[in-house]
Each structure stands twice: as structure tokens, then as C-alpha cells.
């Protein structure tokens, strides 16, 4: 079981690490000295820039990839398959690069550069996946463009005609008065156009307009308006140019109507409560009769146009906003691609692309472990710059999505994928300035000999991997479809998704900056137990709270602090020449296998139509509570007492000198610190 290493681990591992560190040409600093290092550590600046760029782009992927699957038109079923298969195949990345990096020695930077470049190239393939219309989710905020909407009217009445985007027309019969702007009205006379225009331009022809019609032309948007004459109400002030008339009826029995002369510069703001829809073959039609129409302070029941020709006007409203949140959104061009082609091409590109970020992550952690030890810094302190990249980059990309600064109008989430590719290229460039010290590697590695595997407690290492798999399961169950949950339940816009990243990591920098102090004081086990506790709080918060902002901040404990603890613990469990392999194994357990089982659970249990996501979170909170409680009981009731007795019996019968320093009744759980002064600092290599 993952436990207090002061009580459980023997000095054999420390001795092996000390033997492999004899080639260090500088004295090993004490932990307190490292924490006192300056804010700007110039040898580590290239590494910090690399981490900033890499993790900043990675945050964009985590947030926007689920949305991109919807935007290309994939159904929820196909999206679930992709989200489940991709993390399973990504296991290949850590399995290959971990041992390879340990064999390459100081050339592992080349391997990380290759992963960054290949990841950027493969994710760009997602931008070339053809769009389809499989999901039919045209009323969601993730598709691309507003439908084509017109107001059509003649002497018999008026109707709003909307492009049919899916198998069913939207229904608005809820007595809600929607504000609409009518503009750019034109005649469409068809075959009767010439005769009708001649009749309109005649100066001697009179009309049979009802004398009770009240012709009014309000001042619309500052455009000067002219009232028609009684003899010819159809004529504009400019002779020869006919103008459409939009007339509003108070009631069917009333003859006191209000007519407005319209042209291509005129606009009219009205409030209309749409009636039941009449579905046509390719359009959705809403008759504007027997409804409530408000113009200014007056209410009317219907709308019609004077004359024999049909009048067509443009209509805009929040019902058909192109931006996220519109109620009825259609693709700009109705795709004809076979859904199976889109699915298989997306699955192939995504499965290959996901291999490289999870392959780059253990290599980046290995560089952090090596360079932080060499240049008197802490692992958590260096990883905090990666968290800073996520805090800064994700919201900036969200602003680009909001203002539509993207070449992909149909798929807004394609821009964050492109940003990840660009940041990966910049990270590879910054990585070229990172200098890896040759003293890190043993002489046997430099001579080409293969050193023996040194893992003092393989059972404890397996326990660590199992705990990380459980925590990865909860992370995968939450994060795989979390953007969907925010859209469907909290009605979060697409551009706001990146802001949730900054919100969740707002306290990350100060906590990670002093994370090793906290881990030294609490011990690995207590940090992992706290991660289970905060997962319980997060799941319960999403279930019961109407806002997710508060519980989202706990991600700093469930992911950031937990991951720094895992990196440090894996570093101390294995010999120096297996650093990359140990980091690859914890990535494999948490971000590959754990994410796979979490996505599988979400796909089969939490996402089906019959189960609300909040009910799924309720089940996750129960599972997290059971797992955390069992872990707590097994360690504190079984593992720690036995290890403590074994430690006392194997020594001189007295506790180590530094264990006498207590905080009240609590003894700080120092990590890999033996009783003799000679073994100090082994945990930090």
C-alpha cells in the first residue's frame, strides 16, 4: 500500500541511489535550501517556457475535443466510442517512450521533441475530417450557422418561413414574445412582375385601398420616411420605385389597420409570439394570424401585405442567432458526407494523435525531475509553470472563439486544436535550449552497459499504480464529457469553456510553489486520501449546486497536487536510471487506463438518455467515498502499524532523531530521511 516511506522503506534503496549519485560534482543541497531558491532560475527558464506552452495547449485539447466531435456532426454514440477507444490505444505512448528514454540517456530531449512535433501534426488531421449531419442536434449551441429565415406575405396573410435543419421543426407555442427585426423587404412578383410594376408606376392609376387604413411610417433607425398620398399609397416619394406595404390588423373584424412602407433601407422592430408550426418538405412555416404581434405600444393579431405580389423580408432574432446559445442553429452548408466515413476517419486520427501527448507527459516530468534536482529547485515549483500556461492560454483561446477569429466558422472548437499544434511547435523550439546534465547518468549507461533494475518495494509500486488508476477513473469519468455537461445542464457557451480551466486552477500557483513542503509534512498517503475526499466534494457539488464555480476550484487538489505527489513518489521508488520508465508507468495508470475506464463508465452508465448526468455524479461520489474509506482504513489500520513495528525492531530500538520533532501530537512524515545524517536528501536524488 502507498504509505509513509519513513516507516516502511528500508535504506537499501537510499544506498543504491547514493551509489549512483557519486558522480555529482556539486554537493547535494538540503530541501530547505532548494525552497529558498530565487524566483528566476536562469538555467530553468527554457524548461519553464516549454512547460508553459505544452500544458497550455494540452488544456485546450481537454476542454474542446469533446465539443469538436459534436461540431463535425458525429452522433453521441459515435462520440462515446471515440472517447473510449482513444485513451486505450494511447497506452502505446508511455510503454514505448519510457524505456526508450532511459536507454537514450541524455538524448531523451530528442524523443520529447519528436512527440511534440508528431502530436501537432496528427491533431491537425482532425481539422481535415469531413463534416456530417449524423447527430441531428441542430438546436444545440455547437453547430455552425443560423438557418435561412424569411418573412413572406401577400394580401391573404403572412408567415415566417425557416429553413428545415433537422427531421423536425422547432415549436415555439409557449406564448413568448420574441423580438424580431424585419428588414430588406422586396417584391417577388414572379411572371406578373412587368405588368404589376407598370401599374405601380402609373401616375393616373388609383387604388381601392380601404379608406379606414391608417398609413403610418415611424422614424426607423434614423432613416427619413415619407408618407404616401391618398391617391397612390403604394408609391414611394421617388417616382417609379414601388415599396412594399406591411399592414397590421388589430383583429379580424377590425378595419382600423396600420400599414408601414418598407424598402431596402427600412427596418422594423416587432415582438411576435410564434404559433404552431406547419412542417413543409424543406421549410418550417409559422402563420402570423390569430397571434399576438406588438409594434410600439400597440398590439395586433395578424399581418398582411398590400398588393398582388408576394413580399419577402429578411428576419433576425435571438431565436436564430449564429452565436452559441441560439435556439435553432443549422450548418452553413448541409453536409452530404457519409456519417461512417466521418466516424472512422475521426476515430483513426484521434486514436493516433492521443498517443503523443501522453507520451510527451512522462518525458516532460522526467526533465522536471532531473533539472529541478540539478539546479536547486522543486518538482512542484517547476510544474506550476505548466499550470500557469493552462490558466493563461485556455481563456485567451476562448476569447478568440467568442469573437469568431477563426477560419473554421462551422466548427469553432477547431481553433483550440490548431492552437495546441502551434504551441507544441513553439515548445519543441524552446526545448532545444534545455541543457540536460550528463552527470545525471551512471557510468554504466554511458558505457553502453545495461544496469540492473532496482525497485526496493515492488509491492508498494504496484499499490501506487492501483491508486493512480482509481483516481484516473474518476478524472476520466468527470472530464471526458464535462464540456457536454456544462452545455446541456448549465447552458455554458462554447467560448466560456476555457474560462472554466482558469477557474479550476486559480489557486494552483501558490499551492504548487510550496507543494514539496506540504508533501513532506503530510506524507504521500494523506495527499492521495485528500484527493479522494475532494472528488467526493466535487461530485456532490455538481449534483446539488446550481453553479459549478465553487467546486471547480477543487481540481487543484484532485489533479495538480495529486500529480506532483505521484511524480515525487515514483521518483523515489525507483533507481535513477529508471526515472523515465517510472514516470511513464504512472502516466499509463492515470491518464491512459484510468481515463479509459472512466470514459467507459460514463459512456455506458452516465450518458444514456435515461440517466441524468447528476445522477451519474451521485453514483461516482458514492464510489469515491467507498474507495477513499477503504484506502484510509487499510493503510492506517493494517499497513502503517506493521511497518512502524518492523522499522523499530530492525533498528537500534529508538526512533530516528528527527522524528522527535512534532507538531503537537502530530509527527511530520518526512520522506526518505534516515536516522543518520549521511542519508539525508536521498529523496531528492
**Average confidence score pLDDT of the chain:** 75
Q: How far apart are CA 314 and CA 182, in angstroms?
A: 6
- Return the closest-CA partner of residue 582 out of 104, 98, 101: 98
Q: How far apart are CA 428 and CA 602, in angstroms?
A: 34
* CB contact at 8 A, 379 and 685: no
* CA triple 511-515-516, angle to 5 deg: 165
Section 473-487 average pLDDT: 90
pLDDT of residue 211: 35
Question: What would the pLDDT profile of 390-418 be if each residue is shown by its tens digit?
Answer: 999 999 999 998 887 877 777 889 999 99
Q: In sequence order, which residues have a C-beta less than 8 Å from that of residue 68 and are 6 or more positions away? A: 126, 411, 413, 414, 417
For residue 611, what pLDDT band results from cuts at 50, 70 and 90? low
* CB contact at 8 A, 592 and 91: yes
669 or 555, higher pLDDT: 555
pLDDT of residue 331: 46
Of all residues in the chain, what percent carry a pLDDT higher than 70?
Answer: 69
Neighbours of 458 (CB within 10 A): 11
Neighbours of 611 (CB within 10 A): 12
What angle, rounded to 10 degrees, do the helices at 76-89 and 339-353 form? 30
pLDDT of residue 387: 93
Q: How far apart are CA 359 and CA 581, in angstroms?
A: 11
**Residue 125 pLDDT more than 90?**
yes
Section 425-448 average pLDDT: 71
**Residue 245 pLDDT more than 90?**
no
**Residue 45 pLDDT more than 90?**
yes
Least reliable range by pLDDT among 74-78, 97-101, 290-294, 584-588: 290-294
pLDDT of residue 252: 47
Given 3-state DSSP classes, what are the helix, strand and coil percentages for the chain, each rounded to the nearest 5?
A: 55, 10, 35
**Residue 665 pLDDT more than 80?**
no
pLDDT of residue 563: 96
**Residue 234 pLDDT more than 60?**
no
**Residue 425 pLDDT more than 90?**
yes
Question: What would the pLDDT profile of 296-305 be if each residue is shown by its tens digit?
Answer: 778 888 888 8
**Residue 228 pLDDT more than 50?**
no
Question: What would the pLDDT profile of 627-659 be if each residue is shown by its tens digit?
Answer: 999 999 988 887 777 665 555 445 444 444 334
Nine-digit cell string for 205:
392609376
**Residue 202 pLDDT more than 80?**
no
For residue 469, what pLDDT band results from cuts at 50, 70 and 90? very high
* CB contact at 8 A, 436 and 105: no
pLDDT of residue 394: 93
pLDDT of residue 344: 94
* CB contact at 8 A, 513 and 384: yes
pLDDT of residue 56: 95
pLDDT of residue 645: 53
Of all residues in the chain, what percent carry a pLDDT higher than 90?
Answer: 33
Domain residue spans of the chain: 5-24+44-137+336-446+459-684, 149-320
The owner of cell 414572379 is: 190
Section 451-464 average pLDDT: 72
Nine-digit cell string for 175:
406564448
Query: H or E element: which one contains 301?
Result: strand 298-305
Q: How far apart are CA 89 and CA 81, in angstroms?
A: 12
pLDDT of residue 60: 93
Query: H or E element: which one contains 300?
Result: strand 298-305
* CB contact at 8 A, 234 and 213: no
* CA triple 228-234-240, angle to 5 deg: 100
The owner of cell 388609383 is: 206
For residue 489, what pLDDT band results from cuts at 50, 70 and 90? confident
The domain at 5-24+44-137+336-446+459-684 falls in which architecture?
Answer: Up-down Bundle (1.20)
pTM of the predicted model, to two decimals? 0.66
Question: What would the pLDDT profile of 161-170 be if each residue is shown by its tens digit?
Answer: 887 766 667 7
Section 507-532 average pLDDT: 90
pLDDT of residue 276: 72
Least reliable range by pLDDT among 1-10, 33-42, 240-249, 359-368: 1-10
Section 173-200 average pLDDT: 65
Least reliable range by pLDDT among 144-158, 407-421, 545-559: 144-158
* CB contact at 8 A, 496 and 598: no
**Residue 222 pLDDT more than 50?**
no
pLDDT of residue 644: 52
The owner of cell 533494475 is: 453
**Residue 237 pLDDT more than 60?**
no
**Residue 321 pLDDT more than 70?**
no
Strongest mean pLDDT among 183-197, 283-297, 548-562: 548-562
CA distance to 474, 480, 550, 619, per residue, from 543 (Å):
15, 17, 13, 10
Rounded to the nearest angstrom, the gap between the alpha carbon of residue 545 and the centroid of all alpha carbons in its chain is 21
Q: How far apart are CA 355 and CA 232, in angstroms?
A: 74
* CB contact at 8 A, 594 and 35: no
Nine-digit cell string for 599:
470514459
Torsion of CA 30, 31, 32, 36, to 10 degrees: 100
Q: Is 533 helix (H, G, I), strand (E, B) or coil?
A: helix
**Residue 428 pLDDT more than 80?**
yes
Section 503-511 average pLDDT: 83
pLDDT of residue 599: 93
Q: How far apart are CA 180 and CA 258, in angstroms?
A: 18
**Residue 63 pLDDT more than 80?**
yes
pLDDT of residue 410: 75
For residue 439, what pLDDT band results from cuts at 50, 70 and 90? low
Section 358-364 average pLDDT: 96
Q: What is the 3-state secondary structure (H, E, C) of 183-221?
A: EEEEEECHHHHHHHHHHHHCCCCCCCCCCCCEECCCCEC
pLDDT of residue 163: 79
C-alpha Rg value of the chain to the nearest Å? 34
Amino acid at each position: 500500500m502507498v504509505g509513509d516511506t519513513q516507516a516502511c522503506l528500508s535504506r537499501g534503496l537510499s544506498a543504491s541511489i547514493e551509489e549512483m549519485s557519486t558522480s555529482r560534482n556539486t554537493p547535494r543541497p538540503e530541501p530547505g535550501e532548494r525552497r529558498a531558491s530565487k524566483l528566476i532560475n536562469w538555467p530553468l527558464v527554457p524548461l519553464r517556457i516549454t512547460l508553459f506552452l505544452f500544458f497550455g495547449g494540452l488544456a485546450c485539447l481537454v476542454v474542446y475535443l469533446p465539443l469538436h466531435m459534436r461540431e463535425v456532426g458525429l452522433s453521441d454514440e459515435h462520440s462515446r466510442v471515440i472517447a473510449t477507444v482513444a485513451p486505450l490505444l494511447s497506452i502505446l505512448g508511455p510503454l514505448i517512450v519510457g524505456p526508450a528514454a532511459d536507454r537514450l540517456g541524455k538524448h531523451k530531449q530528442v524523443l520529447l521533441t519528436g512527440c511534440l512535433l508528431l502530436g501537432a501534426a496528427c491533431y491537425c488531421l482532425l481539422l481535415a475530417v469531413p463534416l456530417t449531419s449524423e447527430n441531428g442536434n441542430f438546436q444545440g449551441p455547437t453547430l455552425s450557422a443560423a438557418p435561412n429565415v424569411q418573412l413572406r406575405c401577400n394580401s391573404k396573410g403572412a408567415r415566417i418561413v425557416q429553413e428545415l435543419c433537422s427531421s423536425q421543426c422547432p415549436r415555439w407555442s409557449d406564448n413568448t414574445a420574441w423580438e424580431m427585426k424585419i428588414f430588406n423587404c422586396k417584391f417577388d412578383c414572379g411572371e406578373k412582375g412587368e405588368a404589376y410594376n407598370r401599374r405601380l408606376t402609373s401616375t393616373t392609376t388609383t387604388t381601392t385601398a380601404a379608406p379606414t387604413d391608417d398609413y403610418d411610417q415611424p422614424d426607423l433607425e434614423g432613416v427619413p420616411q415619407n408618407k404616401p398620398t391618398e391617391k397612390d399609397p403604394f408609391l414611394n416619394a421617388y417616382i417609379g420605385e414601388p415599396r412594399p406595404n406591411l399592414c397590421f390588423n388589430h383583429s379580424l373584424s377590425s378595419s382600423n389597420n396600420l400599414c408601414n412602407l418598407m424598402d431596402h433601407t427600412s427596418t422594423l422592430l416587432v415582438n411576435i409570439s410564434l404559433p404552431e408550426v406547419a412542417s413543409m418538405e424543406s421549410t418550417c412555416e409559422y402563420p402570423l394570424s390569430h397571434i399576438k404581434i406588438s409594434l410600439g405600444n400597440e398590439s395586433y393579431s395578424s399581418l398582411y401585405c398590400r398588393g398582388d405580389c408576394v413580399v419577402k423580408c429578411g428576419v433576425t432574432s435571438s431565436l436564430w442567432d449564429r452565436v452559441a446559445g441560439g435556439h435553432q442553429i443549422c450548418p452553413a452548408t448541409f453536409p452530404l458526407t457519409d456519417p461512417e466515413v466521418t466516424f472512422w476517419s475521426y476515430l483513426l486520427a484521434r486514436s493516433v494523435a492521443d498517443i503523443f501527448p501522453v507520451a510527451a507527459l512522462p518525458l516532460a516530468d522526467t526533465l522536471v525531475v532531473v533539472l529541478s534536482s540539478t539546479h536547486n529547485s522543486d518538482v512542484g515549483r517547476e510544474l506550476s509553470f505548466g499550470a500557469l500556461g493552462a490558466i493563461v492560454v485556455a481563456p485567451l483561446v476562448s476569447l478568440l472563439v467568442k469573437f469568431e477569429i477563426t477560419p473554421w466558422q462551422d466548427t469553432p472548437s477547431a481553433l483550440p486544436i490548431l492552437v495546441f499544434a502551434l504551441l507544441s511547435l513553439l515548445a519543441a523550439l524552446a526545448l532545444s535550449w534545455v541543457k540536460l546534465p550528463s552527470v545525471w547518468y551512471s557510468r554504466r549507461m554511458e558505457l553502453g552497459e545495461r544496469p540492473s533494475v532496482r525497485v526496493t518495494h515492488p509491492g508498494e509500486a504496484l499499490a501506487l499504480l492501483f491508486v493512480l488508476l482509481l483516481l484516473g477513473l474518476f478524472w476520466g469519468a468527470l472530464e471526458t464529457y464535462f464540456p457536454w455537461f456544462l452545455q446541456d445542464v448549465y447552458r455554458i457557451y462554447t467560448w466560456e469553456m476555457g474560462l472554466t480551466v482558469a477557474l479550476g486552477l486559480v489557486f494552483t500557483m501558490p499551492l504548487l510553489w510550496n507543494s514539496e513542503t506540504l508533501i513532506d509534512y503530510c506524507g504521500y498517503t494523506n495527499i492521495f486520501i485528500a484527493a479522494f475526499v475532494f472528488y467526493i466534494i466535487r461530485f456532490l457539488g455538481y449534483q446539488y449546486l446550481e453553479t459549478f464555480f465553487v467546486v471547480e476550484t477543487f481540481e487543484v487538489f484532485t489533479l495538480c497536487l495529486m500529480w506532483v505527489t505521484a511524480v515525487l513518489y515514483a521518483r523515489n521508488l525507483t533507481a535513477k536510471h529508471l526515472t523515465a520508465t517510472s514516470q511513464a508507468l504512472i502516466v499509463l495508470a492515470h491518464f491512459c487506463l484510468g481515463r479509459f475506464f472512466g470514459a467507459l463508465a460514463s459512456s455506458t452508465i452516465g450518458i444514456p438518455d435515461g440517466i441524468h448526468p447528476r445522477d451519474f455524479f451521485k453514483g461516482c461520489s458514492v464510489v469515491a467515498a467507498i474507495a477513499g474509506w477503504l484506502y484510509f482504513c487499510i493503510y492506517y489500520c493494517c499497513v502503517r502499524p506493521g511497518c512502524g513495528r518492523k522499522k523499530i525492531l530492525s533498528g537500534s530500538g529508538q526512533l530516528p532523531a528527527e522524528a522527535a520533532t512534532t507538531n503537537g501530537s502530530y509527527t511530520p512524515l518526512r520522506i526518505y530521511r534516515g536516522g543518520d545524517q549521511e542519508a539525508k536528501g536521498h529523496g531528492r536524488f
